[in-house]
């Protein structure tokens, strides 16, 4: 089912003078139109139209792409490998409901569509996101990775208890020879209850030597498999937060020095990020900890390398960002959001430790911030509150928001999440809405991992230049280092410092869709649907 391949150069051919197919790529001109708003002295909002013109160049040869997973022996890691192999080899299996075929359901790129335009009859033509631009097919990823647990992947997959036995059984011969590369283990960063897994370690305490080894692993993987690009992705245990200490991890130079002197606040995930940056491999953090300390972001900027994070947005948070947006956009005022989870996989075990839970709590907490801040009709702004109290107030009014996570081994990978939304209605009325969400955690996270890797690889092949109104366009250059276009898949999206985080799932999807269209030189048609509004 997944064997469909887009033709070289992509399925879509845009017929326009400003979209040209040359030099192994698609060169497209795009004008970004916006509006600049100034509040005048008389209280009026003065709006001026703005526009900036860009050219995007997307290299169409996808080449061979590798995916290196940190934590490959975990539930997500083994499910990613199993899904890739089952799809690649067309392995179907029997369940009590009958025969099941492998697929990529849950993948934004492979299983969702966007409207490209309308046909002659005025009907929308919807295409899978994977057909918008040339992207690597997830069957084609060459996958490898590290784990602090030495279990070969057949046994690690069985330990995870995620997939049906009849599928596991058929995958064992493919997976028994895949052994995780030894990894970095600094016990202080993950829960103490993980110690008995840690039997596959790069020896010694020297962090510089660890960095060199990871760099060598990436290089060797690339050479051995003749890869054009390698995406590195952290799907290992959630770490505690690293303390941000001036002189230690605040600048690129200080961070590199702290690795040289093996400073205790440099986490394993930051070493992996630094190694990837130095090797020119995009690095994505699928866990909530602050891997990207300021020095790490600065290093990525300096090297023009790509990073993305943090924390896969698989279940509860995804739903929450939709429900909260629905309420606030409907003009209803959430007063509190109370979230409770229990799960029984190894992730849950690790999160049962306070400092690791704290990382998750922070990441889950910010998810409604932008929607609340966008509606000063419902929520008082910091300026309103300052006026009321006469004291400077930093943050505006916000619904109460609490997150609880409990470890219940019996339920395994099947996570339960309960969310209560308590809102204010017209004339002081109240509304309570409860959502009970039960899902296989790793079956939600796995398609996100493919999406993140596919899009990260694509974005390394896109370059741009601005075309000034009067004057010469400069040289093409890569996109900015922090790939905020990956936000749809991430709970606490990392964005360019100084720019606002977008948490709204709908806006995140729109942002990505519009970007992909811009790379083809296409305007976003949106939902104006003028044909249906006019005579
Ligand atoms: P898991 O505990 O099954 O797998 C993590 C793996 O990482 C384990 O095999 C462990 O041995 C390994 N590991 C720990 N430290 C390591 C290191 N320094 N180097 C290499 N390997 C190391 O967890 P799972 O369920 O696969 O989740 C992975 C991560 O993804 C967790 O941090 C989790 O919070 C995050 N995540 C998962 C979501 C989901 O829906 N499954 C959603 C959001 C985030």
- Confidence band of 7 (pLDDT split at 50, 70, 90): low
Q: Is 149 in the pocket of ligand 1 (CB under 6 A)?
A: yes
Quote the ligand 1 centre to 71 CA distance (angstroms): 6
Quote the ligand 1 centre to 363 CA distance (angstroms): 15
Token pair 């993305």: residue = 308
The interface pTM score, or ipTM, of the predicted complex is 0.99
Return the ligand 1 atom nearest residue 185 CA.
18
Q: Using one digit for the tens of pLDDT, what is the confidence trace for 457-498?
A: 999 999 999 999 887 888 999 999 999 999 999 999 999 999
If one counts every other C-beta atom within 10 angstroms of the C-beta of residue 425, the result is 11
Closest CA to 99 of 170, 4, 172: 170
Closest CA to 178 of 292, 309, 80: 80
**Active-site amino acid positions:** 311, 360, 415, 491
Is-above-0.90 flag for pTM? Answer: yes
Q: Is 197 in the pocket of ligand 1 (CB under 6 A)?
A: yes
Q: Give the Å distances, CA to CA, from 255 to 259, 266, 459, 482.
A: 6, 8, 26, 18
Q: Is 198 in the pocket of ligand 1 (CB under 6 A)?
A: no
Q: Is 445 in the pocket of ligand 1 (CB under 6 A)?
A: yes
Question: With contact defined as beta carbons under 8 Å apart, do 150 and 30 qualify?
Answer: no
Residue 2, pLDDT > 50, answer: no
Q: Using one digit for the tens of pLDDT, what is the confidence trace for 55-93?
A: 999 999 999 999 999 999 999 999 999 999 999 999 999
Quote the ligand 1 centre to 74 CA distance (angstroms): 6
Question: With contact defined as beta carbons under 8 Å apart, do 21 and 526 qualify?
Answer: no
Quote the ligand 1 centre to 50 CA distance (angstroms): 45
Query: To test the ligand 1 pocket, which listed residue (74, 271, 492) has its Cβ within 8 A of the most ligand atoms?
Result: 74
Return the ligand 1 atom nearest residue 351 CA.
34
- For the chain, give the number of residues: 535
Quote the ligand 1 centre to 236 CA distance (angstroms): 3
Q: Is 19 in the pocket of ligand 1 (CB under 6 A)?
A: no
End-to-end CA distance of the chain: 43
Q: Is 238 in the pocket of ligand 1 (CB under 6 A)?
A: yes
Locate 3 and state its tokens: 């064997």
Return the ligand 1 atom nearest residue 415 CA.
40
Distance CA 297, CA 310 (A): 13
Distance CA 151, CA 346 (A): 15
Q: Using one digit for the tens of pLDDT, what is the confidence trace for 371-409?
A: 888 888 999 988 888 888 888 888 889 999 998 999 999
- Which protein residue has the closest C-alpha to ligand 1 atom 44? 312
Residue 49, pLDDT > 80, answer: yes
Return the ligand 1 atom nearest residue 441 CA.
40
Quote the ligand 1 centre to 369 CA distance (angstroms): 27
Strands (E), 40-97: 45-59, 65-70, 93-95
> Under DSSP, is residue 422 helix (H, G, I), strand (E, B) or coil?
strand
Residue 8, pLDDT > 80, answer: no
Distance CA 264, CA 258 (A): 9
Distance CA 389, CA 180 (A): 58
Return the ligand 1 atom nearest residue 315 CA.
40
Q: Using one digit for the tens of pLDDT, what is the confidence trace for 423-434?
A: 999 999 999 999
Q: Is 444 in the pocket of ligand 1 (CB under 6 A)?
A: yes
């Amino acid at each position: 089912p997944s064997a469909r391949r887009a033709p070289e150069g992509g399925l879509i051919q845009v017929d326009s003078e400003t979209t040209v197919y040359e030099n192994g790529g698609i060169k497209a001109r795009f004008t970004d139109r916006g509006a600049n708003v100034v509040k005048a002295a008389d209280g009026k909002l003065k709006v001026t139209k703005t526009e900036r013109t860009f050219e995007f160049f997307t290299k169409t040869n996808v080449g061979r792409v590798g995916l290196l997973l940190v934590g490959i022996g975990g539930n997500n890691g083994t499910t990613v490998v199993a899904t890739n192999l089952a799809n690649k080899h067309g392995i179907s299996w029997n369940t009590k409901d009958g025969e099941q075929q492998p697929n990529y359901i849950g993948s934004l790129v492979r299983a969702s569509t966007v409207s490209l335009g309308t046909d002659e009859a005025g009907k929308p033509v919807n295409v899978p996101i994977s057909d918008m631009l040339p992207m690597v097919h997830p069957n084609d990823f060459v996958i490898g990775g590290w784990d602090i647990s030495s279990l070969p992947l057949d046994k690690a997959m069985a330990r995870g208890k995620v997939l049906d036995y009849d599928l596991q059984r058929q995958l064992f011969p493919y997976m028994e020879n895949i052994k995780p590369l030894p990894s970095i283990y600094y016990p202080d960063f993950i829960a103490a209850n993980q110690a008995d897994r840690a039997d596959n370690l790069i020896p010694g305490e020297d962090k510089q030597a660890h960095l060199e080894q990871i760099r060598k692993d990436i290089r060797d993987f690339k050479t051995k498999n003749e890869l054009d690009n390698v995406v590195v992705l952290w799907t290992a245990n959630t770490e505690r937060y690293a303390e941000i200490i001036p002189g230690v991890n605040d600048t690129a130079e200080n961070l590199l020095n702290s690795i040289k002197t093996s400073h205790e606040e440099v986490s394993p995930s930051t070493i992996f990020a630094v190694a990837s940056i130095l090797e020119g491999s995009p690095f994505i953090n699928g866990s909530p900890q602050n891997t990207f300390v300021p020095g790490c972001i600065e290093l990525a900027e300096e090297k023009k390398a790509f990073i993305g994070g943090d924390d896969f947005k698989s279940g509860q948070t995804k739903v929450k960002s939709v429900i909260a947006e629905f309420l606030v956009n409907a003009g209803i005022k959430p007063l509190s959001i109370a979230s409770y989870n229990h799960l029984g996989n190894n992730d849950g075990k690790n999160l049962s430790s306070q400092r690791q839970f704290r990382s998750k709590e922070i990441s889950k907490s910010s998810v409604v911030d932008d929607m609340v801040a966008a509606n000063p009709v419902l929520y008082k702004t910091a300026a309103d509150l300052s006026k009321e109290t006469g004291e400077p107030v930093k943050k505006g009014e916000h619904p109460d928001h609490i997150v609880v996570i409990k470890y219940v081994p019996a339920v395994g990978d099947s996570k339960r999440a309960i969310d209560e939304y308590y809102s204010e209605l017209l004339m002081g009325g109240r509304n309570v809405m409860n959502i009970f969400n039960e899902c296989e955690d790793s079956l939600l996270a796995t398609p996100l991992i493919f999406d993140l890797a596919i899009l990260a690889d694509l974005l390394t092949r896109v370059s741009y230049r601005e075309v000034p109104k009067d004057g010469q366009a400069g040289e093409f250059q890569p996109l900015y280092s922090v790939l905020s276009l990956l936000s749809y898949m991430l709970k606490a999206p990392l964005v360019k410092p100084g720019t606002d985080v977008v948490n709204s799932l709908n806006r995140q999807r729109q942002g990505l869709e519009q970007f992909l269209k811009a790379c083809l030189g296409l305007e976003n048609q949106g939902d104006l649907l003028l044909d249906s509004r006019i005579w």
